[in-house]
Amino acid sequence: MRAIFTALLPVLASTNAALADCESNDAALEGAARFEISGDLAYDKSTDLTWQRCSVGQRFDGSVGSCVGTTSKFTFEEAQTIGTGGWRTPTLEEYGTIVARYCRDPAIDLTVFPGTISENYWSSIFTNPMTWYFSTRGGSPNPTYYTSMKYAVRLVKTGR
């Protein structure tokens, strides 16, 4: 029995890592209703921001309705240069608008942002001598001196 459990442990751990613990309540319904979903994009009607539903490195697979692939990791400097065509690394305030307080680990609504796992995401904020990242684990901003750390990025743009 112990051998079976030991063999299944990596599978169980990876399955749980991909699922947020979200409450099913009015706040959850209202949170998801803010967004107009169109394939790999989520337009937030309350902030006039369009988000890429997948982290950089992943791609949206419409046949399964989720982001697939591996999330890419970047240094702070790299994260500031990957957006093109109006896409950019979000501010802390912008990240704060997609926090789903009704979800935890990650604190992101996976119906809007499928395939998101608990990661640190770079923001565009630099306040000398610190840079800031956003943790989807608890939905909070955090400072760091280490711009060489490699974190995930989710891109955003203003408007549609």
Q: CA–CA distance from 140 to each of 34, 101, 121 (Å)?
A: 21, 11, 10
User: Is residue 121 within 8 Å of 134, Cβ to Cβ?
Assistant: yes
Average pLDDT estimate for 35-51: 95
Average pLDDT estimate for 133-142: 89
Query: Where residue 109 falls among pLDDT bands split at 50, 70, 90?
Result: confident
**Percentage of the chain surpassing pLDDT 90?**
62
Residue 101, pLDDT score: 79
As given in the structure block, the two tokens for residue 129 are 């001598």
Q: Which DSSP helix (H) or strand (E) runs through 49?
A: strand 49-52
Residue 24, pLDDT score: 67
Residue 70, pLDDT score: 95
Average pLDDT estimate for 92-106: 87
Whether the pLDDT of residue 17 is over 70: the answer is no
pLDDT per residue as tens digits for the range 110-123: 889 999 889 999 99
Whether the pLDDT of residue 71 is over 50: the answer is yes
Whether the pLDDT of residue 139 is over 70: the answer is yes
Residue 9, pLDDT score: 30
Query: Where residue 6 falls among pLDDT bands split at 50, 70, 90?
Result: very low
Q: Which residue in the block uniquely carries the two structure tokens 């608008």?
A: 97
Residue bearing the bigger pLDDT, 117 or 1: 117
Task: Please report which residue ranges of the chain form alpha helices under DSSP H.
Answer: 2-17, 26-33, 76-79, 92-97
Average pLDDT estimate for 142-159: 95
